[in-house]
Amino acid sequence: MKNIQSVVRLSKSCVGVEEASALARVIEAGYLGMGRDVQAFEADIRAYLQTEREVICVNTGTAALHLALCGLDIGPGDEVLVPTLTYVASFQAISATGAKPVACDVTAERGFIDISDAGRRLTSRTKAIMPVHYASNSVGLGEVYDFARKHGLRVVEDAAHAFGGEYEGQRVGASGDVVCFSFDGIKNITSGEGGAVVTNDTKLAQRIRDARLLGVEKDTEKRYQGERSWEFEVTHQGYRYHMSNLMAAIGREQLKKLHAFSEHRRQCVARYIAALRGVDGIRLLDFDHWQIVPHIFCIRVVNGSRNALMTHLRNLEVECGIHYQPNHKLQYFASNYSLPVAEKLAEELLSLPLHAELGDVEQVRVISAVLDFMRSKRA
């Protein structure tokens, strides 16, 4: 049986002829670097988010986080509060500035930063907090902003999972201090690789715009007019983090498909929930999948057999994953304290296949494989 069925992918870049012809147009025009396509993509994102806020596209989500922190002058001697249950990108972006990522625990219901634990980790060196929209959920953000206001912290949102979602009646990114998105190959939309920073802070936005082009002041403005900077000034550390026209061309096509992608992802999640809610040994996270564009679908296997279920699924050619092992357990980011909820979740969490091209038959295969396994555990 194993050999006649194809692998059910955990995640997938869903691109087609539209992206291919957009790329062909950029190649034909002969300007692959950062220029008017990037400007147009930024305008498209602004329109999509229904905001007048600043949008700055960069080459990865990690670069977006890094530049946001740099632009806020966060560096050596500073601390940034961050949930331990996140992709290592959040931690690396913080430590790249020279600041210390201070791992915080998360809530068992949503895997969102636990603000009371964050309170315990606060010191005079804390400059910012980086909430992660874990599994695309934004519930809990209000508490983060209350906490930040109270303690004079900046908020840099890691919204890598959350593009297209809504929170309190607005699109994620249309409000909030500094919001960072990722457009890597498997995120809600992709530009091949890519990311964006969205903020109201015009001074910060200018710093980021310059910093993505090696700190060359006003280079963005020149490139958007099809010109180059031959004489310029540099006043801050910069990086080679800009987005290219090639990437932007893919991203613009993807944005047009986001509505269809969202519907598909939500339907898949609805189907998982209908099949798996109430099953012995499985718990679901608490989120409203109609409000968000679900990037991943995680279940909690609470009967101690998560790893066995993973093996079972893999044997049936069903890919699955763990989002995430806690960062404070990694050697480079090791903490001298434990974070019990995240450590427990890390042993229970299992991500099932979810992407914009996941087929009905494939999803039925995933669900039956999970149900068969859980039944065999009960018997």
Minimum Å distance from CB 141 to ligand PLP? 15
Minimum Å distance from CB 89 to ligand PLP? 4
- DSSP state, residue 332: G
CA distances, 10 to each of 124, 186, 191, 298 (Å): 42, 10, 19, 11
Minimum Å distance from CB 134 to ligand PLP? 7
Query: Helices (DSSP H) in the chain: which residue ranges?
Result: 17-29, 36-49, 61-71, 88-96, 115-120, 141-151, 202-211, 219-224, 245-276, 306-315, 340-348, 360-378
Minimum Å distance from CB 316 to ligand PLP? 26
- DSSP state, residue 167: E
Residues 186 and 182: their CA atoms lie apart, in Å, by 9
Nearer to ligand PLP, 101 or 281 (CB): 101
The angle formed by the CA atoms of residues 202, 207 and 209, to the nearest 5 degrees, is 90
Proportion of the chain in helix, strand, coil states, percent, rounded to 5: 40, 15, 40
Q: Within 10 Å of residue 139's Cβ, how many Cβ atoms?
A: 18
- Taking a C-beta distance cutoff of 8 angstroms, is the pair 172, 141 a contact? no
Residues that bind ligand PLP (CB under 6 A): 60-62, 86-87, 89-90, 132, 158, 160-161, 182, 184, 195
Nearer to ligand PLP, 282 or 352 (CB): 352
Nearer to ligand PLP, 89 or 299 (CB): 89
Nearer to ligand PLP, 32 or 96 (CB): 96
Minimum Å distance from CB 195 to ligand PLP? 5
Minimum Å distance from CB 274 to ligand PLP? 26
Q: Within 10 Å of residue 116's Cβ, how many Cβ atoms?
A: 11
Nearer to ligand PLP, 85 or 316 (CB): 85
Minimum Å distance from CB 374 to ligand PLP? 28
Nearer to ligand PLP, 71 or 195 (CB): 195
Nearer to ligand PLP, 60 or 363 (CB): 60
Minimum Å distance from CB 214 to ligand PLP? 19
Minimum Å distance from CB 116 to ligand PLP? 22
Q: Which of 169, 82, 142, 137 is nearest to 286 (CA)?
A: 137
Minimum Å distance from CB 269 to ligand PLP? 17
Nearer to ligand PLP, 72 or 156 (CB): 156
- Taking a C-beta distance cutoff of 8 angstroms, is the pair 348, 303 a contact? no
Nearer to ligand PLP, 243 or 374 (CB): 243
Residues 101 and 93: their CA atoms lie apart, in Å, by 9
Chain residue at closest Cβ approach to ligand PLP: 61
- Taking a C-beta distance cutoff of 8 angstroms, is the pair 325, 319 a contact? no
Name residue 251's beta-bridge partners. none
Nearer to ligand PLP, 350 or 369 (CB): 350
Q: What are the two backbone dihedrals, phi and then psi, of residue 162, each rounded to the nearest 5 degrees?
A: -110, 5
Cα 376 to chain centroid, rounded: 35
The answer, yes or no, to whether the previous bond of 324 is cis (omega within 30 of 0) is yes
